[in-house]
Amino acid sequence: MFDMLLVLIAAAAQAGAVTASGKQASEASAAPPPTDTTAPVSMPHRAPPGYDLVFADEFNAGNKPDPSKWNYDRHRNAQGWFNNELQYYAANRSENARVENGRLIIEARHDGANLESESDYGGQEYSSVRLLTQGKAAWTYGFYEIRAKLPCGRGTWPAIWMLPEDPDVVWPDGGEIDIMEHVGYDPMVIHHSVHTKAFNFGRGTQKTTSHNLDTACTQFHRYQLLWTPDGLIFGVDDAPKFAFRKLRSGKSRWPFDEPMYLILNVAIGGDWGGRKGIDESALPQRMEIDHVRVYQLVEE
């Protein structure tokens, strides 16, 4: 399996899918990357052979996110969120997070004064949700697939991404894996990125790529990550889009040997998402998620 990964990553790098350019850092400053539509040669179809399902949510039960699988993150509501984002992240508020018709709905809204009764309210006019598997599930390596349909209102900033489980690690030392990012003012472009201490926005060295996906907001697509000790391959609907290879040891370049948890959120505004303003007439906007699946290689 690892030999196959190295072949795929080498092909992706030779094809030009590995790029370093300006994009947002989810816990730092923000700037969008250029578009790169180059794709490497192949992507494992669903989970590779030898991988077993270790976590899944098909959203077929209940009317709220399953508390045995998901936590609400509200820790920056009072102070304001990173990147000058403008949303309040709610918890147990059905207007912002609910399960209906077999899908998780994360909905961003313009609520104004309706949020003033919240105990950690920081004065935000917009509300949304940030869900974590932290404390419930975190993994080192694996194959990840999230089937989602994205919001496209100007000012929205949905993301499917990962951060280190260790709460004492300061960004970007522990790394960040952005399986999918999108900004509503550029509705047909998908972004995939990696941040580390050596490769991050502050140094202008982060590794990222972008590609067109015309139906990102009108159809469901499977956003995928294959993560092994040798590298990362990002894909959409089994087509590889970006590869990041472990070229040398050292956590500054490759911190990805420690557990990371998954994050699902829709931000509003911010240095990247709000670059062209917010279309309040387009709100509410929702990211719909059909399933989340995590597979890991079975130890023999």
Backbone angles phi, psi at 132, to 5 degrees: -125, 150
DSSP assignment of 95-130 equals TTEEEETTEEEEEEEE-GGGGTTSTT--S-SEEE-E
Q: Is 181 a catalytic residue?
A: yes
Q: What is the pLDDT of residue 249?
A: 85
Catalytic residue among 116, 176, 280, 299: 176
Q: What is the pLDDT of residue 92?
A: 94
Query: From CA 128, how far away is CA 112, in angstroms rounded?
Result: 12
Q: What is the pLDDT of residue 201?
A: 79
Tokens, residue 161? 């991404």
Contact yes or no for 2/229 (Cβ under 8 A): yes
Positive or negative, the CA dihedral 244, 249, 255, 256 is: positive
Which H or E run contains 10? helix 2-15
Q: What is the pLDDT of residue 26?
A: 45
Catalytic residue among 85, 107, 181, 288: 181
- DSSP at 281: G
Q: Is 176 a catalytic residue?
A: yes
Q: What is the pLDDT of residue 32?
A: 44
Q: What is the pLDDT of residue 300?
A: 61
Terminal Cα distance for the chain, rounded: 13
Mean pLDDT per 10-residue segment, the chain (300 residues)? 45 38 40 39 67 96 96 97 97 97 98 92 97 91 98 98 96 97 98 95 88 98 97 96 93 96 98 97 98 90
Q: What is the pLDDT of residue 298?
A: 86
Query: From CA 143, how far away is CA 51, in angstroms rounded?
Result: 8
Positive or negative, the CA dihedral 132, 138, 141, 144 is: negative
